[in-house]
Structure 1
Amino acid sequence: MTLGTEDTRSQITIGLNAVIVSVIDQQPNVLLVQNKEETSSASASNASDQFFPTDNQYDVLPFGPFYPAQHPTLESGLRSWVGEQTNQEIGYVEQLYTFGNAGRDPREQGGGPRVISVGYLALVQDKNPTAREEGLWRDWYRYFPWEDWREGRPEILDRDILPALKNWIEDADSNSQKKERKERAAITFGLGETPWNDELVLERFELLYEAAMVTEAQIDTVDSKKLGIPMALDHRRILATAIGRLRGKIKYRPVVFELMPPTFTLLQLQRVVEALSGSRLHKQNFRRLIEKKGLVEATGRIETQIRGRPAAQFRFRREVLIERQALGVRQN
């Protein structure tokens, strides 16, 4: 959809972006599309090589334009594009954010319209998604390796990020700017006595962007392999927004069950929560929390495991949505 009657500089194109998440083999995965001309908001012939190179170097989230004549609602347009581009049916969907910063689409540099994208977060169960020919599932920590604390503090923080941030702080133009940069780094990356906040995924990425430490900042000296795999346009920023939203939401709403099969063990549920949050949870504390909130009920069936003792199977109690308000699977 394009709005405006004057030259292209006054026009606005509305697009729809989808962050589709599934937990596959205990890893949080996001669904991508092949970088094809027909699925790009800017074709390879018109776009900057940095975003749409001929070797399909940069990953792309599902997205397409909103057509008012064809799409009764924004969400229906999103579902249409997702189905066409990935053959994936999505169930749970929520609107994420509207992304409209100037210059987010390379066509603007050539006098093209401002591209505003409405982002959505969608959750799907692992139903053999790797068999999809058009869809590409990728571990989201390949884009944000500093966000995965399940095996301890990520090495990339002390090896690459913090030394570079220290240099960025020292390069400030004034003492006041140096203080402001130092405070932002402390809050976003949990420096000093400030604790790490797993929800500040977007704030951390934006700080790295401002410090010209990621490829999307268009600095030739950036080593993208060290600081995560880049994505086309501002799709990594959109993904960061979705991860932060989901990490926050699982603390007060039972959305994690949208990613679970009809029956599961408590350990399987814990591993999914850990995958999303990027941190390990205390087994007994987690189970006490689940029991206290009445989120699950036993099915009476036992799952036989190759190693270890047989585990009881559970199901999500949907009636709990009416019974309680605080329904998260993690403590704040």
Structure 2
Amino acid sequence: MSDSAAIAIDLSAVVIAMEVASPTVLVIRTADGMSALPAGAFDPVSHATFEQGLRDWVASQTGFELGYSEQLYTFGDLARSHELFETPAARHISIGYLGLTAARHTPAGMAAQWRSWYDFFPWEDYRQGRPALIDMALAPALERWAAAADSAATREARHQRARLAFALNGARWVDARVLERYELLFEAGLVPEAQRNADSAANEALPVTGLEMMVDHRRILATAMDRLRGKLRYRPVVFELLPERFTLSRLQQTVEAIIGLAVHKQNFRRALERTGLVVATGDVDTATGGRPAERFRFCREQWRQQMAPGVQTPLSHGEY
């Protein structure tokens, strides 16, 4: 087999944990100060399964013992950069995984840290209203990119893609379009990763488009965000990010942090009650600084018996 036909399988992990009101992702710092996901090569000799290999890499690079995980997607674009790999001549296929944990650890003596995922995607946080950078920077840059197309049909298609992705000109914001928005900015040459790709547009990356990541790791993170934002509505995965006992306010805060939108408190609790996903524990949280709040737990047995849906997210401001 020639070098050009060689295939190398890599494993990458998006590990998510909550810190107060922000979803954080476990990253490692490269020698040049850039962020990367925990990742490494699959060894068919020492790794009995892909997941075992993934867990070994996460533990060795961050000191974190991975708990809940699920396979996310397989990334194999020809344009994948080989900056982190020892076999640059091979075609690299990366199998991505999503991991969730209720307890963050503090990496000791390792080049690992937790960063808010909004550091990488600052336009995705709508909890306090529409982020100003969308209309101040992203929309004008996308408008220039669309107008620069060679044909009227392409210009119209670009305008429409930008409108739907970033809720421009009256379009509705859809939280589970993280990957679509990132790939649009990439194609327009507005994120620094695009400057490493000779096929991307020749625009200058905007300084407001979030922290750069190695290889295609920001694309992998965007895929994980889409998966989690969509899945929590039909599977109770949000409880993997919570302690065993929690208040309803903590649950709502976690849901809002994930989807990047504010939800209607009363409607949220009514919808939650109908699912039977949580039950009162009989004790209260006195550390809230105000009136003691009742603690609840995830009723896993109820979900297993009736396959209740995930957590519904009635928005506080209606359609965004």
Give the TM-score of the pair, scaled to structure 2.
Answer: 0.91
2:123 to 143, 146, 150: 146
Residues 1:166 and 2:143 are matched in the alignment: yes
Residue type of the partner of 1:33?
A: I
For residue 21 of structure 1, what is the amino acid of its counterpart? I
* Deviations 1:298-319 (CA, angstroms, capped at 9, x unpaired): 0000111352211000000001
Residue 182 (structure 2) aligns with: 205
Instruction: Please state if 1:310 is matched with 2:287.
Output: no
2:162 pairs with 1:185: yes
Identity %: 47
Please say which of residues 58-67 and 179-188 is displaced more in the overlay.
179-188
Deviations 1:57-81 (A, max 9, x none): 3101000000111111111110111
Cα RMSD of the aligned pairs, angstroms, is 1.8
Q: Is the 8 A contact 2:35 2:214 kept in 1?
A: yes
Is structure 2 residue 290 aligned with structure 1 residue 324? no
> In the alignment, is the contact (CA less than 8 A) between 1:105 and 1:114 conserved in 2?
no
1:224 Cα offset (Å): 5.1
Shift of 1:125: 1.1
2:77 aligned partner: 101
Matches within 5 A, 1:23-34: 23-34=18-29
What secondary structure is seen at the aligned counterpart in 2 of 1:106?
A: coil
1:252 aligns with 2:234: yes
Q: Relative to 1, partners in 2 of residues 1:306 and 1:14: Cα closer, same or farther, differing over 3 Å?
A: closer
Structure 1 position 235 matched with structure 2 position 217: yes
- Measure the CA separation in 2 of the matches of 1:132 and 1:195: 44
Q: C-alpha separation between the residues in 1 aligned to 2:22 and 2:101?
A: 14
Asked if 2 retains the 8 angstrom alpha-carbon contact of 1:9 and 1:111, the reply is no
- Residue by residue over 1:221-274, the C-alpha shift from the partner in whole angstroms, topping out at 9 and shown as x without a partner, is 635531111101110000000001100000110000001101000001111111
Answer whether contact 2:189 2:205 (CA < 8 A) is retained: no
Asked if residue 222 in structure 1 is aligned to residue 197 in structure 2, the reply is no
Q: 1:62 aligns with which of 22, 25, 38?
A: 38
Distance 2:121 2:107 in 1: 25
Unaligned runs of 5+ in 2: 197-201, 315-320
Q: Matches of 2:88 and 2:287 in 1, distance apart?
A: 60
1:130 Cα deviation after fit: 3.1
Shift of 1:133: 3.7
Q: What is the CA deviation profile of residues 186-220 of structure 1, one whole-angstrom value per residue up to 9, with x for unaligned ones?
A: 22112234211100000000000000000001178
Question: Given residue 219 of structure 2, which amino acid in structure 1 is its aligned partner?
Answer: R
Q: Give, as a single letter, the amino acid of the residue that structure 1 aligns with 2:73.
A: Y
User: What amino acid is the match of 1:158?
Assistant: D
Partners of 1:147 and 1:278 within 8 A in 2: yes
Cross-structure match for 1:16: 11
Q: Tell me the residue number matched to 1:118.
A: 95
Structure 1: runs of 5+ lacking an equivalent: 36-53
- Distance in 2 (CA, whole Å) between partners of 1:261 and 1:232 is 32
